[in-house]
Chain A
Amino acid sequence: MKRQGIAEALRDAITEEMARDTRVFCIGEDIGVPGGWGGAFTVTLGLAEKFPGRIIDTPIAELGFTGIAVGAAMMGLRPIADVQYGDFLFLASDQLINNAAKLRYMSGGAIKVPMVMRAPVGATGRGSQHAQSMERYFTGVPGLKVVAVSTAFDAKGMLKAAVRDDNPVMIFEHKLLYGSKGARAEPGAVDATSEIPDEDYVVPLDRAAVRREGRHVTILGWLLMAHFARQAAEILAQEGIEAEVIDVRSLSPIDYETIGASLRKTGRVVIVEEGPKTGGVSAEIAAGIMENCADALMAPVVRVASADVPVPFTPVLENAYRPDVPRIVEAARQLVQH
């Protein structure tokens, strides 16, 4: 066992998968430059020396290198691509959505696209174009699997599962959760370290995780919001409200079995999402709950999400934009009184 942060855990996952399977390689911007940073958040630091020729630095060309990853995957390789900030997925999305996600279907099942796309998301004092919660744009795309990792344990296990999966898998990571060090450390970072087993393991790409058990209300979140939900639960506990916290983690498909089992206990649910409320993943989850387990609900579904605005720069407004622990506590408290 060793204690690791998400950046280190992802690095180890990549290292182990590349050592295990020579078809695996990494492609992206500034990921293997000598004297560089190992990607924007240090995940690939040191890997270029370990795996010569398999950590491929590209020009700044997201559409291009994503297409290259798709093509290489079709021909039998297993690329792990990454964008430096999730916001740049808008440039890559033609290749992801029109090609990676559809080639299997369009070919009548002849083609496999076993690729991984990693993307850091979240509001972190950088303004509107380096901050968006991008997972919402991909969860509704048939042919893609979408996960979001909030602990180092999951980051390692889900990245490994994604590399071994025969489909395109998108992994969303949060800038405040990496635990990047040195010059790439993030102010305001939240501890997402885990005890990492020495043995090889994978975490399935389609299961939510119950992070805390409780019987009065269920709080659903992912990425940074999974951490905030747990912090909220601690405060609620002091008031005698026992919240069950679920890290949704798998955003496509969504694990309604785990969510439904919790709702049958609590009858109440708060869904927390960083990102504008309109059109968010929380809307899909709310609808899914109505279809899958409405009978368990004793009160309407409540959402805590960001305002329907671009992400503002100034910290006062960014803090108002991002759901925080007090807002989650308040929503849960009101719901329990309902």
Chain B
Amino acid sequence: MNPTSTPSTPAVSVLTGDRSFLLRLYEQLVLIREFEERVKFLFLEGTMPGTIHQCQGQEATAVGVCAALRADDYITSTFRGHGHALAKGLGVQEMLDELFGAVTGCCKGKGGSMHMGNMDKGMVPGIAIVGGGIPLAAGMALAFKMQRRPQVVACFFGDGAVAEGAFHEGVNMAAIWNLPVVFVCENNLYGASTRIDKVMKNPRVSDRAASYGFRGETVDGNDVLAVLGAARRAAAECREGQGPVLLELLTYRRTGHSRRDACHYQAKDEREAWFARDPIERYAAQLLTRSDVTLADLAAVKARVIQEIDAGVERAKRAPQPTVAELTTDVLA
């Protein structure tokens, strides 16, 4: 599949945009990458419990979409939610604590990697059932509409979710009721080990929107400014009652589907082609075309991020675990 985007003018130009805003996007991209790399190390080392689904290579989708949202907008996510969480403003510490099963984690240690979330920050705990977040997001948007609240939901899901009945049912109802949902399909070409061309006769996911009567768009998901621009347009349409919108963000998972997966099902030339389109390197190159951004600036961002993660890991390892009494709390309201 051709990874280039349909032409779309980025809402923010890298040359004329606000320097600190642009650097903030860079920091988020790097934060997600470094966070994931550290988590992978901790998991493989055996100090971190559970299982992991990571998003190295897909950072720009989370950052671009969440940068287009307001603090009181919501996102729904999946088993692969660390990047979404960081982009939506969850803290490194509450996430690391959660991954270490600590009671100080964002879900008190009850959720774990696949259910990362924090309602105060506008993120529903990750829904680890493929497609399960889609009707849920539509329902949240229905509440916004009925209560005349000016909020939107960005609903993240993968290419794999498009095959589930939940996609059809949720998207259709969002369409007929013009609900304020930005459906964000992170099309990374694979659902687990299965390549999309094996499970879709029409692999252009955004085409599906038209069949439900609303607007869909395919975007280069490894270009953070292109994603931001598309997400801003989509969110604005949703706020004006013109929703929903389906964004198909073309991207690629650089890491295993989960745990120790070695990705033997990904072709070597395909991997190389996508590694050459790395969202962070590309954005760094764009930023460096500005006269007021230097390599040293970017290095400083990375150093700051790594320092934050280092400190977070040390604290998370010593964070208090829940007591057994916590087992039976939080079941009913």
Q: Which of A53-61, A162-170, A250-258 touches B?
A: A53-61
Q: Would B163 and A37 count as touching, CB distance under 8 A?
A: no
Q: Would B130 and A317 count as touching, CB distance under 8 A?
A: no
For chain A, what secondary structure do more than half of its interface residues adopt (helix, strand, loop), or is it mixed? Answer: loop
Smallest Cβ-Cβ distance to B200: which chain A residue: A59
| Contact (A313, B259) CB under 8 Å given A35-B264, A60-B191 | no
Q: Which of A107-115, A125-133, A196-204, A265-273 touches B?
A: A125-133
Q: Does A316 contact B (CB under 8 A)?
A: yes
Most chain A CB within a 10 A radius of its CB, from B160, B194, B261: B194
Tell me the A305-328 residues at the B interface (CB within 8 Å): 307-310, 312-317, 320-321
| Contact (A127, B114) CB under 8 Å given A314-B322, A317-B324 | yes
Contacts of A127 in B (CB 8 A): 50, 110-115, 128
| Contact (A29, B114) CB under 8 Å given A60-B164, A317-B327 | no
Contacts of A37 in B (CB 8 A): 193, 261
Q: Would B331 and A313 count as touching, CB distance under 8 A?
A: no
Q: Does B17 contact A (CB under 8 A)?
A: no
Contacts of B49 in A (CB 8 A): 125, 314-315
Q: CA separation between A130 and B126, bound complex, in Å?
A: 13
Q: Would B129 and A34 count as touching, CB distance under 8 A?
A: no
Q: Does A36 contact B (CB under 8 A)?
A: yes
Q: Does A72 contact B (CB under 8 A)?
A: no
Q: Would A129 and B114 count as touching, CB distance under 8 A?
A: yes
| Contact (A309, B328) CB under 8 Å given A36-B264, A60-B163, A314-B101 | yes
| Contact (A314, B324) CB under 8 Å given A30-B192, A30-B194 | no
Q: Does B265 contact A (CB under 8 A)?
A: yes
Smallest Cβ-Cβ distance to B160: which chain A residue: A60
A-B contact pairs, 17 of them (CB 8 A): A34-B265, A36-B192, A36-B194, A59-B163, A61-B164, A61-B165, A64-B163, A87-B129, A91-B165, A127-B115, A129-B115, A129-B129, A183-B261, A313-B107, A313-B115, A317-B110, A321-B327
3 nearest CB pairs, A to B: A313-B112, A314-B101, A59-B163
**Residues of B in contact with A (beta carbons under 8 Å apart):** 49-51, 101-102, 107, 109-115, 127-131, 160-161, 163-166, 191-194, 198-200, 256, 259-266, 321-322, 324, 326-328, 331
**Residues of A in contact with B (beta carbons under 8 Å apart):** 29-30, 33-37, 57-64, 87-88, 90-91, 125-130, 182-184, 307-310, 312-317, 320-321
